[in-house]
Chain A
Amino acid sequence: MSEKIGNVWIFVEQEGGKIADVSLELVCKGRELANRLGVKTEALLLGDKLADCVDTLYHYGCDTVFLAEDKRLEPFTVLPYAKVIIGLIKEHKPNILLFGATMKGRELAPRVASEKLAGLTADCTDLQIDDFDDKVNKQFYKNKLMQIRPAFGGNIIATIVNTWDDPQMVTVREGVMKLDKPDTARKGKLVKVAPNITDVETLVKVIERVRQEKAVNLKGAQVIVAGGYGVGSKSNFKLICDLAEALGGEVAASRAAVDAGWIDHDHQVGQTGVTVRPKLYIACGISGSVQHRAGMDESKKIIAINSDPGAPIFSVAHYSIVGNLNDIVPKMIKAFKAKA
């Protein structure tokens, strides 16, 4: 019998004591992986005054919460977080460590992986457990984490395996893992951690921090109406907003429309924006670059409206309407208002 394998860990991201959605998504996915491997699901929660977050993590599936509280862990900076996490990895030897592919996760995970000399795969969109038969190096690895991610601007999907020491580390895109219903009866074990932070980790100082919650909640929207460069102008973008309002949905945009200054970046869907999976996604005047499709192609129903019948967006659409959106969008508003 081989030696016992380590547990599945999730780095839990929080802002002002509110756990990030992606972290809860990863707890759910982590639990699935842990069940498959017959190990525990454990969370790393760092910050200050976070006792209220712990129960939520149990409810979503954590068996253990490692809690490190210290004034120097607020606000988030990379070096002290990396120090605490490296210490915990060395002590407990987890098998898998998941981070959200957020701005924080994407600057923290590589710092930790580099010090641990562990492999790290960025922006995964799926994770599975499988064996890896490395024929080149004649090595067979059992029950490894299959780290599945788009690469090459989204033109290929690669399955990557970490063949060095544990933990197998990945960052995972927001919104791609399903959130299970929390079980409020679930309980877990709290392990308080004394942060081993020194002056070396507090060299970088935050002088000013300006932040506001996003005004739009694209991830939670059931209906999304998105406009792209084909909308043509800022004033014409009002059509997109009108349709969204009529249908009770949110307004989104492709990067081209955001770059053109027609709408705020908070509304951007795609690889450098938000990943969404609403019941209905209406893409108006969006050509459908791979970067954009990556953020919306799992929507349950997609309507694509474009004047170019060759636009790539039609390859992911359930309903394609070739024509001028200036004619089509008002017709949709009228038809919906007449019916509803």
Chain B
Amino acid sequence: MSYTVLVFVKQVPDTQNITGDAMKPDGTVNRSALPAIFNPEDLNALELALQLKDRYGAKVIVGTMGPPAAAEALRAALYRGADECVLLTDRAFAGADTLATSYALSCCANKIGKYDLILCGRQAIDGDTAQVGPQLAEKLSLPQICYIEDVIELNKNKVVAKRAIEGGYEILESPLPALLTVIDSNEPRPMAARKVMKFKRARTSSELAKEHANANYTDAEALAEEEEALKQKGLLIHEWSADDVKADKSRVGLSGSPTKVKAIMNVVLTAGAAKVVEPSEQGIVNLIHELIADHTLG
């Protein structure tokens, strides 16, 4: 039998490699200058799904919630070997905290319907909360196993997986379907050139419409035909709105988010009032003496 594995991913600003260009003169981060990347641990989740596909045969469906531009992350998933993609996009989703996000993703999973496993990266580097995975599992009433390093065995009754715990590891088994969150424990495969050639033309409906509009090409019938042609070739990225996944509008986006941001303070990098110590013999001796004198050392 073949399995269906859903992988939920996120496109995030690259907060880990902040270069000088992304710093404003006042020492704070210019968020808009950060490039959008595939969240690193979501790539590990995708890799694990693709390994399961290689080992057991599986259809890998990748979903993301985000602005229309997040379709780029879905193409990157297709380039690596995903079979099908879903972009969950709607203005109503904007401003979601983790609870509203997990609710929206649960509606998406319910629309997809049948699946054996859901994989997520442990956490995204913009928020580092690690909450959406467990919250999604709860919304779907699925057992959850977090911090997965590898799947040891998958059969039609259960999944056996190895996961990290503080100071060691555990091997757990769970019936299917189940949700696993994956940590940085495998080496995500590179994009395959042949797949890039094929899927670089993959589009969401609204990307297609935008391309037509940009070319001043407004024939609705031609648009529909082209969309159908993409679909036939497996190049249409599903694009679902809140209504498409039957989401209760009061539970998504800002209105579905119990947590509100009261204040944001930028971390300012300033040259502190550090004492400069000369790297000479005498400089170091004076430093050590000072630290012994004030009882920091000794």
Contact = CB atoms under 8 A, between A and B. Distances in A.
Nearest to B160: A207
Given A122-B128, A160-B261, A153 B170 contact: no
Contacts of A315: 269-272
A84 B66 CA distance: 35
Interface in A304-319: 304, 312, 314-319
Contact of B130 (A106, A206, A211): A106
B171 A206 contact: yes
B188 to A, nearest CB: 15
A268 interface: no
A121 B128 CA distance: 11
Contacts of A207: 160, 171-173
Given A79-B143, A327-B279, A319 B287 contact: yes
Contacts of B197: none
Given A103-B165, A114-B102, A159 B296 contact: no
B218 interface: no
A109 to B, nearest CB: 8
A286 interface: no
A153 B23 CA distance: 14
Nearest to A324: B279
Contact of B169 (A15, A163, A203, A210): A210
Contacts, number: 252
Interface stretch (A184-192, A232-240, A329-337): A329-337
A10 interface: no
Interface in B260-298: 260-267, 269-272, 274-279, 281, 283-285, 287-289, 291-292, 296-298
A332 B274 contact: no
A132 B146 CA distance: 34
A260 interface: no
Contact of B134 (A77, A107, A123): A107
B125 interface: yes
A122 B129 contact: yes
B274 A156 contact: no
Given A152-B126, A153-B125, A209 B296 contact: no
A335 B288 contact: yes
Most B-side CB within 10 Å, residue of A78, A114, A165, A290? A114
Given A204-B174, A209-B168, A210-B169, A114 B259 contact: no
B145 interface: yes
Contacts of A110: 98, 129-135, 138
A202 B15 CA distance: 38
B296 A117 contact: no
B138 A280 contact: no
A157 B277 contact: no
A208 B138 contact: no
B269 A123 contact: no
A23 to B, nearest CB: 13
B29 interface: yes
Contacts of B266: 155-157
Given A111-B137, A111-B144, A151-B127, A161 B287 contact: no
A6 interface: no
Contacts of A328: 279, 284
Given A79-B143, A290-B267, A271 B128 contact: yes
Contact of A317 (B13, B98, B267, B274): B274
A56 interface: no
B258 A118 contact: yes
B258 A153 contact: no
A153 B166 contact: no
Interface string A199-238: 0000111111111111000000001000000000000000
Interface string A86-129: 00000000000000001110111111011101111111000000
Given A123-B128, A164-B258, A247-B297, A78 B134 contact: yes
Contacts of A104: 166
A296 to B, nearest CB: 14
Interface string B170-188: 1111110010010000000
B11 to A, nearest CB: 15
A302 to B, nearest CB: 8
Contacts of B130: 106-107, 110, 122
Contacts of A340: 292, 297-298
5 contacts: A102-B166, A111-B137, A207-B173, A328-B279, A331-B285
Given A15-B166, A206-B171, A339-B288, 16 more contacts: A78-B144, A103-B166, A114-B102, A117-B258, A120-B131, A157-B267, A203-B143, A206-B172, A207-B173, A212-B167, A271-B128, A318-B274, A321-B276, A327-B279, A335-B288, A336-B297
